[in-house]
Amino acid sequence: MLGFINMKPRLLIIEDEAAIRAGLTDVFVYHGYEVETAEDGKAGLDAALKGNYDLILLDIMLPGMSGYDVCEAIRSQDRDQPIIMLTARVSDEDIVHGLKLGADDYVGKPFSVEQLVLRAAAVLRRAGLATDDVTELRLGDLAIDTRNLSGAHGSEVTAFTRREMQVLLYLHAHAERPVPREELLSRVWGYASHADLETRTVDIHIAKLRRKIEPDPKNPQFLVTIRGAGYRLLSPA
């Protein structure tokens, strides 16, 4: 079972055919996504640039502005936006063109809905927005059960909030590097803007997490601050 870092991943479907749009909306809502739609390339691009989506399903053949152009325009603004292109055109050349423009995956129509849902989950997982394998995190003597939101240290049990667990899982998914506060706000909280007040929200959660996971919260050894770069989770197992 796939676990989402955001409890409801935000999905934008840019598709001009009403029947496909409605069908995809039903399927992804059923699978726990929050879905918004756009009917043409221009409206889709506007929504994509404003909406802070976790994933975009982008049709290629759209009125006005093609899916390729939409993809390129999104990429020029947001290098990391996960995008899956949908198309009736399935030549290798089209696929290469789409992937060159920065699509994360490419699904040919007619597609199997189940396969599309799996591909979407895979793209989110690669983006560090979903995890399907982390059920336990071990930090020193503390064993954290990510599903039950609890940590056990001997017979002592600590409860985590859902948000704290989302922060931990996101840092774990990106353990190879420090994660900036702004990235946590946008990827875990889903905030688009980064006012000072909001970055303090992150710091408050980090402080609470440290009280739960660190033997000495004032001298953290697992959830460390990398000055000027963000937070990093060290040696999680």
Q: Which residues bind Ca ion (CB under 5 A)?
A: 16, 59, 61
Pick 12 or 188: Cβ nearer Ca ion: 12
**Tokens read off for 193:** 């803007």
Q: Which residues pair with 179 in a beta bridge?
A: 231
Pick 19 or 197: Cβ nearer Ca ion: 19
Residue pair 190/166 in contact by the 8 Å Cβ criterion:
no
- The reply to whether omega before 178 is within 30° of 0 (cis) is no
Q: How far is the CB of 47 from Ca ion (least distance, A)?
A: 16
Q: How far is the CB of 49 from Ca ion (least distance, A)?
A: 21
3-state secondary structure of 87: strand
Q: How far is the CB of 67 from Ca ion (least distance, A)?
A: 8
Distances (CA, A) of 93 to 58, 96, 100, 103, 110: 18, 5, 10, 14, 18
Gap between the Cα atoms of 144 and 138, Å rounded? 6
Amino acid at 122: A
Pick 15 or 214: Cβ nearer Ca ion: 15
3-state secondary structure of 129: coil
Q: How far is the CB of 66 from Ca ion (least distance, A)?
A: 10
Q: How far is the CB of 63 from Ca ion (least distance, A)?
A: 8
Gap between the Cα atoms of 48 and 224, Å rounded? 33
Pick 60 or 139: Cβ nearer Ca ion: 60
Residue pair 50/20 in contact by the 8 Å Cβ criterion:
no
Q: How far is the CB of 59 from Ca ion (least distance, A)?
A: 4
Pick 49 or 65: Cβ nearer Ca ion: 65
Pick 16 or 105: Cβ nearer Ca ion: 16
Give the residue closest to Ca ion by C-beta.
Answer: 61
Gap between the Cα atoms of 171 and 173, Å rounded? 5
Q: How far is the CB of 61 from Ca ion (least distance, A)?
A: 4
Pick 16 or 104: Cβ nearer Ca ion: 16
Amino acid at 46: D
Q: Could you tell me whether strands 230-233 and 142-145 are parallel, antiparallel, or unpaired per DSSP bridges?
A: unpaired
